[in-house]
A and B are shown apart, each in its own frame.
Chain A
Amino acid sequence: GQQLNQSPQSMFIQEGEDVSMNCTSSSIFNTWLWYKQDPGEGPVLLIALYKAGELTSNGRLTAQFGITRKDSFLNISASIPSDVGIYFCAGRDPHNFGNEKLTFGTGTRLTIIP
């Protein structure tokens, strides 16, 4: 089945730094989504991408749908304490006709060092 490799697994940064993480797939996707999850909470949708090459921003967050349709990137600029959490990428296989099942990456845990 499909696999989503998300990297890095964890990041330790200082407040104010920029953050980059990415996700790669073994097959093409027609949708990429980025979620953030706080401990014990449900994932919250940050950004949705629908077209190869698409670049979309949501405040300090910017995500891109890779040209090959097998990868996606998330950048966070000028990190702040509330950015701490686990970031998940998720993708939808265009061959999943009739269902909208998402495949999730393994997550990137972001920690801000005081």
Chain B
Amino acid sequence: DSGVTQTPKHLITATGQRVTLRCSPRSGDLSVYWYQQSLDQGLQFLIQYYNGEERAKGNILERFSAQQFPDLHSELNLSSLELGDSALYFCASSSQGNSYNEQFFGPGTRLTVL
């Protein structure tokens, strides 16, 4: 158990809809990262938050947005969903100090868009 939690585990929705994925980082971690993994693909970095502020952006679509709250949990919002958005979405967190590059992943949310 990495200590990173994600909800829900599975999500099934229709095209055009909007969903929210939630992530709680490990206790004490200030950084949260979101990744997308399509079928049999590697992980694509979407966005990073650090202590409530956006820190880095990857290949995140304009239809997607995220935020990190004062209690450090984060939400990823996906809107106007398309079939191609079906994927596993992972959240990761990392700590300060010398091991700040080590990201610990949650169990993921499997999104299916029908």
- Chain A residues within CB distance 8 Å of chain B: 31, 33, 35, 40-45, 48, 50, 88, 90, 92, 96, 98-107
Classify chain B: how many residues form its interface, as a range: 20 to 34
Q: Which residues of B73-104 are within 8 A (CB) of A?
A: 88, 90, 92, 94, 98-104
Whether A48 contacts B99 in the complex (CB less than 8 A), given A88-B42, A101-B48, A104-B42, comes out as yes
Whether A42 contacts B105 in the complex (CB less than 8 A), given A98-B56, A99-B48, A101-B48, comes out as yes
What residue in chain A is nearest B88 (Cβ atoms)?
A40
What residue in chain A is nearest B35 (Cβ atoms)?
A104
Q: Give every chain B residue within 8 A of A48 (Cβ-Cβ).
A: 99, 101-102
| B43 lies within 8 A of chain A by Cβ | yes
Q: Give every chain A residue within 8 A of B58 (Cβ-Cβ).
A: 101
| B25 lies within 8 A of chain A by Cβ | no
**Contact (Cβ within 8 A) A104 B101:** no
- A33: contacting residue among B31, B55, B88, B101, CB under 8 A: B101
For the A-B complex with A44-B2, A99-B56, A101-B58 known, give 15 more contacts whose Cβ atoms are closer than 8 Å: A31-B101, A33-B101, A40-B88, A42-B106, A43-B90, A44-B105, A45-B104, A45-B105, A50-B101, A100-B48, A100-B101, A102-B33, A102-B101, A103-B45, A104-B42
- Chain B residues within CB distance 8 Å of chain A: 2, 4, 31, 33, 35, 41-45, 48, 55-56, 58, 88, 90, 92, 94, 98-108, 110
